[in-house]
Structure 1
Amino acid sequence: MKLLHVDASPKSERSISRSLARHFVSCLRKQNVELDIDYLDLTKNPPSYIDELFTIAAYTPAVQRTAAMEQALARSTELCQRVLDADALLFAMPMHNFSYPSVFKAFIDNIIRAELTYVVSSSGQYIGQLTRQKALFITTRGTDMRAGMPLSHMDALTPSLKAAFGFIGVQNPSFVNAQPTQFAAAEEREKALERARNQLSDVARKWAKEQNFQ
């Protein structure tokens, strides 16, 4: 299995999302899943933010692009190829102000590309190209936003991820959300992490089983 593993936390060793992502990779290996990992740390190698030249270039037919346009799109094209080449996608990030970190928004803006990760049919239908990829989103939240909790309605992260990746074809992604991890007592935080680790083990077993039946 070729796994694209993307970390987006600005923290390093203190990052909970990074730690949980490593735990998931370990769980996959314990299930005897052979992994070819393509690792990307967005905080150390951030994608460019969208500017005017990028926007113009992205919607200019490839045969009409100038050298400057191609250069403006080069990193985006590389990132698109990396997600297309993967069999599975692992994204780990903290929630920042109810959504994703800005560097992960830039990543999304770079990988949603016409004629690469989605195409438009003759009838005007948008067709995502990542239909074969499994996907797991690991997120950490300072407070508890599980269903039924007072702040559950403020989770803008989950629906935004579903919309963006659903548009490019990702079907039935898995979500493991560690919460609460910041604004909670130590005992409650540890329970949240244990729930997340157990859920990650379940996802690893599911992926291993699906791979065995391919």
Structure 2
Amino acid sequence: MKLLHVDASPRSATSSSRALSRFFVDQLRRRLPALSVDYLDLAVEPAPVITETFTTATYTPADERTDAMQGALAPSDALCRRLLDADALLFAMPMHNWTMPAAFKAYVDAIVRGGITYVATEEGRYVGQLGGRRTLFLTTRGVDLRAGTPFAAMDMLTPSLRAAFGFIGVDAPEFVDAQPLQFAHEIERADALRRAKRELAETARNWADELRPALSRAG
């Protein structure tokens, strides 16, 4: 089983989302020793910037693309292949200004690709190609955006992730949100991290229980 693990925080040693994503991978690997992890750090390997050449190339038939167009698409092509080659997906990120960080938005722009991660049918429907993959979004938030809190209506991150990845076939994403952190008191931060770790451990158990029989048959 291959897990694609993507970190999007600009922080390194002080990043809560990175620490929690490592915790989840460790929990999953304990239960699935054969787990293979493809790791992508968007702070080190940023997704390509969308240029006019890139945009034009995406709407040009493959056999009509110039060398410049193919070069502009190459990093995106590679990111799409890594996505499609994975059996399960983990995306970890902080919330920035109520939505996803810029590094992850650039990644989304690179992987939502017609003819690769989604296809258009003759009937005019769009069919995502990532169906069947367990997918976890792990987010950290400075304030508490849970239902019933003053900031709940300002959560633009969860719906935008559901929309973008739902379009390319992720139909049952799971979310673990560590909140509040940055703008909370120490006791609240500690409670938020404990809750997140508890949820991540449970998610790892559920994934392992579901995937272990399939791995046994494959072996």
- Tell me the TM-score range normalised by the shorter chain: over 0.9
> In the alignment, does 2:133 pair up with 1:121?
no
The CA RMSD measured in Å over matched residues stands at: 0.8
Q: Give, in angstroms, the shift of residue 29 of structure 1.
A: 1.7
Q: Give, in angstroms, the shift of residue 192 of structure 1.
A: 0.3
In structure 1, distance between residues paired with 2:109 and 2:4:
17
Question: What is the identity, as a one-letter code, of the residue corresponding to 2:3?
Answer: L
Q: Is the 8 A contact 1:92 1:138 kept in 2?
A: yes
In structure 1, distance between residues paired with 2:121 and 2:33:
36
In structure 2, distance between residues paired with 1:146 and 1:76:
34
Identity of aligned residues (%): 57
In structure 2, distance between residues paired with 1:22 and 1:31:
14
Determine helix, strand or coil for the equivalent of 2:175: strand
What is the aligned partner in structure 1 of residue 37 from structure 2?
Answer: 37
Q: Give, in angstroms, the shift of residue 33 of structure 1.
A: 4.5
In the alignment, structure 1 segments of 5+ residues that lack a partner are none
Determine helix, strand or coil for the equivalent of 1:184: coil
Q: Give, in angstroms, the shift of residue 209 of structure 1.
A: 1.0
> In the alignment, does 2:155 pair up with 1:155?
yes
In the alignment, structure 2 segments of 5+ residues that lack a partner are 215-219
Question: What is the identity, as a one-letter code, of the residue corresponding to 2:94?
Answer: P
In structure 2, distance between residues paired with 1:87 and 1:43:
23
Question: What is the identity, as a one-letter code, of the residue corresponding to 1:94?
Answer: P
Q: Give, in angstroms, the shift of residue 213 of structure 1.
A: 3.8
Question: What is the identity, as a one-letter code, of the residue corresponding to 2:107?
Answer: F
Q: Give, in angstroms, the shift of residue 107 of structure 1.
A: 0.2
Segment drifting more, 152-161 vs 48-57? 48-57
What is the aligned partner in structure 2 of residue 74 from structure 1?
Answer: 74
In structure 2, distance between residues paired with 1:142 and 1:98:
9
Determine helix, strand or coil for the equivalent of 1:100: coil
Q: Is the 8 A contact 1:94 1:141 kept in 2?
A: yes
CA displacement 1:108-167 (0-9 Å, x = unmatched): 000000110000000010000000211101100000000111100000000000000000
Q: Is the 8 A contact 1:127 1:169 kept in 2?
A: yes
What is the aligned partner in structure 1 of residue 63 from structure 2?
Answer: 63
What is the aligned partner in structure 1 of residue 167 from structure 2?
Answer: 167
What is the aligned partner in structure 2 of residue 179 from structure 1?
Answer: 179
Determine helix, strand or coil for the equivalent of 1:192: helix
Question: What is the identity, as a one-letter code, of the residue corresponding to 1:49?
Answer: V
Q: Is the 8 A contact 2:95 2:140 kept in 1?
A: yes
CA displacement 1:46-82 (0-9 Å, x = unmatched): 0112111100001101011011100000000000000
Q: Give, in angstroms, the shift of residue 30 of structure 1.
A: 2.1
Would you say how many aligned residue pairs link Structure 1 and Structure 2?
A: 214
CA displacement 1:149-189 (0-9 Å, x = unmatched): 11000000000000000000012111000000111110110
> In the alignment, does 2:112 pair up with 1:112?
yes
Question: What is the identity, as a one-letter code, of the residue corresponding to 1:48?
Answer: P
What is the aligned partner in structure 2 of residue 210 from structure 1?
Answer: 210
What is the aligned partner in structure 2 of residue 10 from structure 1?
Answer: 10
Q: 1:33 to 1:166 in 2, by over 3 A?
A: farther
Q: Is the 8 A contact 2:92 2:137 kept in 1?
A: yes
Q: Is the 8 A contact 1:91 1:137 kept in 2?
A: yes
In structure 2, distance between residues paired with 1:97 and 1:54:
27
Matches for 1:82-97 after TM superposition, within 5 Å: 82-97=82-97
In structure 2, distance between residues paired with 1:37 and 1:65:
33
CA displacement 1:6-55 (0-9 Å, x = unmatched): 00000001000000000001110222352111111001110112111100
